[in-house]
Amino acid sequence: MKAPPASTGEEHHGGIDSNELKARQIDPRNVLDLSSNLLFVDHPQRVKNAIRTSQFSHYPDRDCGPLLDALAARHQIPTDRILAGNGCCELIHLVASTLLDSGDRAMVVGPTFSEYARASRIAGANAYEVRSHASEAFAVPTEALQNDLESQPPRLVWICNPNNPTGQRIDAAVIQHWLESFPQTTFVVDESYIDFSVSTQSLVGNEAANLIVLRSMTKSHALAGLRLGYLVASEPQIQALTARRIPWSVNELAQAAGVAALQSQPHYDAAMQRLQTEQTRLIGELRQRGYDPLSSETGFFMLPVGDAMAFRDRLLESEVLVRDCTSFGLSDHVRIAIGDASATDRLLAAIDGRPLGAATPSDAVESGSAPTWGDDFRSQLHQLFRLRRDVRRFRTDPIAPQLMAQWIEAACLAPSVGLSQPWRFMSVDQPSLRERVLAEFELQNESAASGYEDAERQQYQKLKLAGLREAPEQLAIFVVPEPSQGRGLGRQTMPETVVYSVVAAIQNLWLAARCDGVGVGWVSILRPDRISKILAVPDHWQLIAYLCLGYPSDPAQEIPTLELAGWEERMQTNQLWTHS
């Protein structure tokens, strides 16, 4: 199980190599970089403003006071247990130089990030790996690790959890057992990718004296160009590390951006949700093409391809960069980071060896021509229509206010008769109002059930017809029946078109939310007059829809719940379309 480490020379990790691109005559600005494990996100204005207004003519706060305060608030731990650094790489080398002496043994749980072994060797230690293997789907070899710890406990153990590049994790209970069983060994657990995982349990709150936890804002908040990481440890460990650190290693821009990013956490959480949705799509597309992507707890995954370097070079010809895993000792695998929808399109086009498709709508607008749409876009659009289904089962994760604002804006782009814009939106945030709406639903749902007989009633009562208890957002949508806007145009013969306009706006909102990985459920088992009274809206407003919004428990489900439950079968299109 033990493998000798590579040389102590600096290794190239993920990211764009400008010299290589220059030799290949590729413009770096055109390259889609999926070789680095970073969150695909457009930073909120708060972060951009923080960077722009930073006082970089002065020395930065050497203790990173405001940043530590923000991190302490996030993790609910004292600032005395936190140390910020110029990315996790600096902290890895700081830990090794502080804790390791010449001749010490340092175990690395591999295959993994090479800097753990390199930093250990630079400190004079004997670094060795206990590796997982492809034949076992790279499952963490906990039994082999346990045996090694028992035979000769090392001074230091490096664990990346979840691991780079395999995407696998170790259960926190296993690490806790080792912390208690081997008190003379310090366990360094790198949680740089934990924010990408939905099931890996963090050890940040663990106060064990022989535990150091590394965290990276480079990855989870896409601050790679600024370099920002931190570690959490016991106060004595922090004091020892602080005594050896380089002063002012975290620059002013990184500190300011870090604080602003933490204050904008819902924005990054929403991007994480979109990433998870995109990961499901990409994995499915690759499997349809005959590939076997490995399961992963992170925002990246490994893909067996035979010759990793050749595969990587072929994609780079299409200006798409993935990471070949040769430096991990895995010359037949590449590592691919998850991007956004357009990144997935480019990657798949490069893998297929085909052009990406027609010009984007923005290209068409700039050229003054009519927009054209490629096959990929049309396929995704129809997939979005299928995923538009009514959602009743939600996760409770909060939705970023910026996303809600974007969806309302999309709704307001809907057509309206006479440009009347008769829609009105009300976010129902107060718990007391939500409880009253829930009570109204339960009353009307019971009444509706009584209208069915025997077996049909039992079937009805088993249906979940609303997500009012779980959905993090609830939105009431009203129509103004006789709006002054539009001056009555188009309504004299068909006054109901104002209602149709609101329904069109709802469809826009629904599709925009679904595009961001959020589901919508329309709760119709409510009395409109009663909801209007509960929400105390103007008398002339009429309720059209009461919507629940949240991340679906099953984001990939295309078939509507009522169809799955056998309540009704979907009619064929030819039954619904006739000719005069």
CATH number at residue 151: 3.40.640.10
What pLDDT, on the 0 to 100 scale, is given for residue 479? 94
- Residue 455 binned pLDDT confidence (cut-offs 50, 70, 90): confident
Do 146 and 202 fall into the same domain? Answer: yes
Do 237 and 286 fall into the same domain? Answer: no
What's the CATH number where 298 sits?
Answer: 3.90.1150.10
Report how many domains make up the chain: 3
Q: Is 294 inside a domain boundary?
A: yes
Do 311 and 256 fall into the same domain? Answer: no
325, 306 contact by CB (below 8 A): no
190, 218 contact by CB (below 8 A): no
Q: Is 314 left (phi over 0), alpha (psi -120 to 50) or beta?
A: alpha
What pLDDT, on the 0 to 100 scale, is given for residue 445? 87
Q: Is the confidence at residue 361, as pLDDT, over 50?
A: no
Residue with more model confidence, 564 or 22:
22
Closest by alpha carbon to 344, among 269, 285, 290? Answer: 285
Q: Is 485 inside a domain boundary?
A: yes
Q: Is the confidence at residue 517, as pLDDT, over 70?
A: yes
Name the domain boundary from 356, 374, 395. Answer: 356
Report the 10 Å Cβ neighbour count for 107: 27
φ, ψ at 410 (rounded to 5°): -65, -40
For residue range 385-428, what is the model confidence (pLDDT) as tens digits? Answer: 877 777 888 888 888 888 888 899 899 999 998 888 999 999 99
What's the CATH number where 564 sits?
Answer: 3.40.109.10
Do 118 and 147 fall into the same domain? Answer: yes
Q: Is the confidence at residue 242, as pLDDT, over 60?
A: yes
Per cent of the chain over pLDDT 90 is: 62
Per cent of the chain over pLDDT 70 is: 92
Task: Tell me what the mean pLDDT of segment 40-64 comes to.
Answer: 92
What pLDDT, on the 0 to 100 scale, is given for residue 39? 93
- Residue 362 binned pLDDT confidence (cut-offs 50, 70, 90): very low
Q: Which two tokens stand for residue 126?
A: 């004997």
Cα–Cα dist 501/544, whole Å: 11
Q: 576: buried, middle or exposed (CB in 10 Å: 19+, 13-18, 0-12)?
A: exposed
Q: Is 364 inside a domain boundary?
A: no
For residue range 213-227, what is the model confidence (pLDDT) as tens digits? Answer: 999 999 999 999 999
Q: Is 505 inside a domain boundary?
A: yes
Give the bridge partners for 323, in sequence order: 335
> What is the layout of strands, in order, in the sheet containing 82-85?
2-3, 126-131, 105-110, 156-160, 186-190, 211-216, 229-233, 82-85
Question: Which CB contacts under 8 angstroms, 24+ apart, belong to 288-296?
Answer: 289/351, 289/352, 293/336, 294/137, 294/138, 294/166, 294/167, 295/137, 295/167, 296/162, 296/166, 296/167, 296/168
Name the domain boundary from 263, 282, 301. Answer: 263
Do 402 and 452 fall into the same domain? Answer: yes
Q: How open is the CA angle 403-408-411, to the nearest 5 degrees?
A: 130
Do 50 and 131 fall into the same domain? Answer: yes
Q: Is 362 inside a domain boundary?
A: no
Q: Is 6 inside a domain boundary?
A: no
What's the pTM? Answer: 0.62
What pLDDT, on the 0 to 100 scale, is given for residue 575? 76
For residue range 153-197, what is the model confidence (pLDDT) as tens digits? Answer: 999 999 999 999 999 999 999 999 999 999 999 999 999 999 999
Cα–Cα dist 83/231, whole Å: 5
What pLDDT, on the 0 to 100 scale, is given for residue 17? 77
Do 408 and 549 fall into the same domain? Answer: yes
- DSSP classification of residue 522: E
Lowest mean pLDDT among 47-61, 249-263, 560-574: 560-574
Q: Is the confidence at residue 504, as pLDDT, over 50?
A: yes
φ, ψ at 136 (rounded to 5°): -115, 25
Do 281 and 255 fall into the same domain? Answer: no
Burial string for 89-98 (b: 16+ CB within 10 Å, else e) reads: bbbbbbbbbb
Q: Is 510 left (phi over 0), alpha (psi -120 to 50) or beta?
A: alpha
Q: Which two tokens stand for residue 296?
A: 């992963």
Do 94 and 239 fall into the same domain? Answer: yes
Q: Is residue 162 reached through a cis peptide bond, with omega within 30 degrees of 0 on the bond before it?
A: yes
315, 322 contact by CB (below 8 A): yes
- Residue 1 binned pLDDT confidence (cut-offs 50, 70, 90): very low
Do 211 and 80 fall into the same domain? Answer: yes
Q: Is 379 inside a domain boundary?
A: no
Q: Write down the residue that tokens 């650190």 correspond to.
A: 245
Do 50 and 185 fall into the same domain? Answer: yes
> In 329-430, which ranges are continuous DSSP H helix?
341-352, 361-367, 375-387, 401-411
Name the domain boundary from 211, 232, 263. Answer: 263
Q: Is the confidence at residue 383, as pLDDT, over 90?
A: no
What pLDDT, on the 0 to 100 scale, is given for residue 5? 45
Domain that holds residue 116: 45-263
Q: Is 368 inside a domain boundary?
A: no
Do 348 and 458 fall into the same domain? Answer: no
Q: How open is the CA angle 572-576-577, to the nearest 5 degrees?
A: 115
